[in-house]
A and B are shown apart, each in its own frame.
Chain A
């Protein structure tokens, strides 16, 4: 398996623009997580899905952030409008329910200028 695949790897955008991050989880995994990593706050869980259904989105910073999982092999995290403070590395991870082990993608480094 190719592992968790995220795109793009790097994104530079201007403040106010819409940004969409994409994730393909490992085939067969039914849990998907979006994390944000910054120097100040470390690894923060934004939202996670079980069987394509959002279970806990309490980590989503504000209404500018939204996430979808239309099917078992694809998820998006959208920021609209983006702000400089959204600059961070965003990770997607997947796992099988009950097994615990989460596998991370390579991340998307987002820079909002």
Chain B
């Protein structure tokens, strides 16, 4: 089955700096890669996603990149703010079926 690895497991950045989280996946059939943000006491919330026919996608301060050949994708947060502090999960899903496989999560702390 699919295996998603996520790094780093924790990330501490100064407010205003950038944060980058990287994920790799194993199944070349995976074609949809969402990113979720989980705040304390809440369920994961979808913040951005990318499909396999696109190499990069941006939404304000967040961007995702996808390298299908290398089977890795990344989340970039620019100009980080304290409210960006949360746990972030990457995930991958195959074209057939809906089984989302999650990475292990990255705890991001933005220091004021």
- Chain A residues with CB under 8 Å of chain B are 4, 31, 33, 42-43, 45, 48, 50, 55-56, 91, 93, 95, 97-98, 100-107
Q: B102 contacts A101, CB within 8 Å?
A: no
From A33, A55, A98, give the contact of B100 (CB < 8 A): A33
Q: Whose C-beta in chain B lies nearest to the C-beta of A31?
A: B98
Q: B42 contacts A102, CB within 8 Å?
A: no
Q: B43 contacts A104, CB within 8 Å?
A: yes
Q: How far is it, in angstroms, between the C-alpha of A66 and the C-alpha of B102 when the chains are bound?
A: 22
B73 at the interface (CB under 8 A from A): no
Q: Which of B44-52, B62-70, B74-82 contacts A (4 or more CB under 8 A)?
A: B44-52
- Chain B residues with CB under 8 Å of chain A are 32, 34, 36, 41-46, 49, 51, 89, 93, 97-102, 104-105
Q: A107 contacts B102, CB within 8 Å?
A: no
Contacts A43-B105, A104-B44, A106-B42 aside, 10 further interface pairs with beta carbons under 8 A come to: A33-B98, A43-B44, A43-B102, A45-B101, A50-B98, A55-B99, A101-B46, A102-B34, A102-B100, A105-B43
Q: B43 contacts A43, CB within 8 Å?
A: no
List of A residues within 8 angstroms of B89 by Cβ: 43
Q: B44 contacts A91, CB within 8 Å?
A: yes
Q: How far is it, in angstroms, between the C-alpha of A33 and the C-alpha of B97 when the chains are bound?
A: 12
Q: B97 contacts A42, CB within 8 Å?
A: no
Nearest-neighbour CB distance to chain B for A2, whole angstroms, equals 13
Q: B99 contacts A102, CB within 8 Å?
A: no
Q: How far is it, in angstroms, between the C-alpha of A102 and the C-alpha of B101 when the chains are bound?
A: 11
List of B residues within 8 angstroms of A102 by Cβ: 34, 46, 98, 100
Q: Whose C-beta in chain A lies nearest to the C-beta of B43?
A: A104
> Which of A48, A101, A106 counts the most B-chain CB atoms under 10 A from its CB?
A101
List of A residues within 8 angstroms of B51 by Cβ: 100
List of A residues within 8 angstroms of B105 by Cβ: 42-43
Closest A-B pairs by Cβ, 4 of them: A104-B43, A100-B32, A43-B102, A31-B98
